[in-house]
Amino acid sequence: IAVAVADPYAPRSAVSAGQKAPSFRTKTIYGKTINFPADYKGKVVLLDFWATYCKPCLAELPKTVAAYTQYHDKGFEVLSVSLDLSKKAPALYQFIKDNNMTWPQLYDGQAVKTPIAVQYGVHAIPCAVLVDGDTGLVIATDLGAMGHKLTKAVESALAAKAKK
């Protein structure tokens, strides 16, 4: 199971700002196919690796919901990757509904062995990866894409898109 990092400034995944985000194809919990980042042209996307058992993830959730509510109609998307354990689907679906997580959710019950988490080298959660949907480049990760910095990173990325 992924755990919170002793050093909050340590990288939580193998990706970093400026590099190409690994692409993937998968299905959401409701069966919609996602091709990432190809399906997100013109968007700024937060890949949010989390789990319902992770207290720091739950503390981060209101900030993610607030950013999504504020910027979604301007081109901000969230794609959550749940690292919850197998057989947690009913509780996870209820949690998503109860917490107004209206964006696409990915969950396969494999926890840290979830292929996308492995592909991104996620070793601690919450793990945030902000990606430019046009270029596929990572804009910010970890603390640079969480909390109050999430809003700033999204605003900056959307402003850069508007200038193009």
Question: At 25, is the secondary structure helix, strand, or coil?
Answer: strand
Class of residue 110 by CB neighbours under 10 A (exposed 0-12, middle 13-18, buried 19+): middle
Ordered per-residue pLDDT tens for the chain, 164 residues: 455 555 667 788 999 999 999 999 999 999 999 999 999 999 999 999 999 999 999 999 999 999 999 999 999 999 999 999 888 888 999 999 999 999 999 999 999 899 999 999 999 999 999 999 999 999 999 989 998 899 999 999 999 988 87
DSSP string, 88-129: -HHHHHHHHHHTT--S-EE--SBGGG-HHHHHTT--SSSEEE
What are the C-alpha distances in Å from 154 to residues 26, 40, 148?
24, 15, 10
pTM beyond 0.75, yes or no = yes
Give the type of residue at 79.
L
Output the pLDDT for position 162. 85
pLDDT given for residue 8 in this prediction: 66
Tally of residues, the chain? 164
In this prediction, residue 31 carries a pLDDT of 94
